[in-house]
Amino acid sequence: MDQAPPEYTQNTRRRRGTSADGGNGAMNGVPTIGRQPPHSVEAEEYLLSCCLLDGSDSIAKCLEKKLPVAAFYVAANRVIYEKLVELYQKAPPVAIEVLAEELKTTGQLEEIGGVAYLMQVSARIPTTAQTDYFLEKVRELHMLRQLIQVGTSTVEQCFGFQGGLEEFVDKIEQEIFEVTQDRVSDGAKTMKETAKDAWVVIDKMMHHKGEITGISSGFKELDSMTYGFQKAEMIVLAARPSMGKTSLALNMAESAVLPRRGEPAGVLLFSLEMSAAQLGMRMLCSRGRVNMKKLREGFVRPGGDEYKDLVTAADELSKSPLFIDDSSHLTIMELRAKSRRLAARQKLGFIIVDYLQLLSPTDPKTPREQQVAEISRGLKALAKELDVPVLVLSQLNRAAEKENRAPKLSDLRESGSIEQDADVVLMLARPKDADEKFQVAADSAELIVAKQRNGPVGDLKLTFLRDITRFENHTP
């Protein structure tokens, strides 16, 4: 980051116009105990000076970094920045004469101190070389003010707290996350950087011929088509209810945390339908190859072979890096926050969401299609942010059943955005030669690779072991 000029200081008392706290030591009604909130008039004026100097690039940087109008503590500076952005979006570059005329037209020119103040700000710095420095400084101080606001509000809420503690803590975490979520901007990479990243993948392919490059699904035919679930990809596994989506996802999770070859990958599984205990029982019976019905009916006796198999499975799974979150009500923002927190303390290689339609909307008033689209975009963003594959279970509509055909992409329920956002779409269906009474527990199923952004599509068969709810590679 560039160094600040020698005359730069922080938290100066000199202000023009009304500050963001109204000049009374409060921000948005929250008292700051008589102290000045963090701010720097100089940093704001230097940044505006850069924007006025070039009229284009510096403003574009502010927009790329998502710098809001509220980031400026001084009221006059907020007015200038807001008008600069408005004019830039209409017809860049923005000339200071045009800015002054527009402010005059809206009656804001005198409010900020007239042309004299505009000229004063524009002359604050002779070059735009330090735009990035002052942009980051203004962002940081704004974020500190927001955190003070959230923190002070939290203290007040704690004194008057009533209700469930877990929900309250989640709410506070969400408020802090909303403050900090935009602090990092990926920006554009040079072709040199992009080529270097691509060459790492190419080199791995050349030196590991035929080997998968992502997280193994545990199924040979599927891995041969996808080369594993790749980083930053969103994979959708769709099916009608009771077709075995969860069982297949659990088998894939098991393959990731207990691989036959290579290092285990940390897996975070969000289950919005079943409890962690229910999933745990399924995984133990599947891994130990024990009939769950017999176990429930009490026919598995302590000390017997099946009991020993369960103990072995429990020992293996308990040592694996598998994490299950069975929160029944989650928004996409909460899910992303939980994923980020776990990724900060545990290396994650794979995330599974069971299932998309059960995630709560951020705004229940919006149309359902928009809600699902927002969730789908959020899951894709999560895959890119944490650089891990995200397997998303989803429901299919009834069209394939009604028309007695194999499912297709248009059957994805409630939103076309799922198809658009997904890198890979898998569809679990009954075999084409099955009779009308077929159910998933009939020993075999068909997995359709309906979409793959970077590879082939096609159908493959899986063997389903009904008694232990386990999918395996198909054996003719």
Structural domain range at position 211 = 200-473
Q: Is residue 374 part of a domain?
A: yes
Tell me if 93 is assigned to some domain: yes
The tokens for 222 are: 């599927």
Instruction: Say whether both 309 and 409 belong to one domain.
Output: yes
The answer on 313 and 274 residing in a single domain is: yes
Give the domain-ending residue among 147, 180, 213. 180
Do 241 and 387 belong together in one domain? yes
170 inside domain = yes
User: Which pTM does this prediction carry?
Assistant: 0.63
Q: Are residues 163 and 280 in the same domain?
A: no
- pLDDT score, position 396: 84
Sequence-distant (6+) residues with CB within 8 A of 329 are 272, 360
Of 128, 150, 180, the one marking the end of a domain is: 180
Same domain, 210 and 145: no
**Is the residue at 21 inside a domain?**
no
> The CATH number of the domain where 286 resides is what?
3.40.50.300
Do residues 174 and 210 share a domain?
Answer: no
Q: Which residue has the tokens 């890096």?
A: 321
Q: Tell me whether residue 12 is in a domain.
A: no
Tokens of 250: 């659990």
148 phi and psi angles, rounded to 5 deg: -60, -40
Structural domain includes residue 186:
no
Q: Are residues 155 and 46 in the same domain?
A: yes
Q: Is 472 a catalytic residue?
A: no
Residue 327 lies in a domain: yes
Q: Are residues 217 and 174 in the same domain?
A: no
Asked if residue 205 and residue 159 are part of one domain, the reply reads no
Residue 30 belongs to domain with CATH number: 1.10.860.10
What is the domain count for the chain?
2
Question: Which member of 102, 221, 273, 306 is catalytic?
Answer: 273
Residue 37 and residue 105 share a domain: yes
Residues 305 and 424 in one domain: yes
pLDDT tens readout for residues 255-308: 999 888 888 899 999 999 889 888 888 888 888 888 878 887 777 778 788 888
Q: Which ranges of the chain have pLDDT less than 70?
A: 1-34, 180-189, 205, 208-210, 413-415, 431-442, 476
What are the CA-CA distances from residue 384 to residues 13, 180, 214, 346, 405 (Å)?
Answer: 42, 17, 15, 17, 34
Span 5-18, pLDDT tens digits = 444 444 443 445 54
Domain-ending residue, one of 119, 150, 180:
180
Within-domain flag for 48: yes
My answer on whether 165 and 219 are in the same domain is no
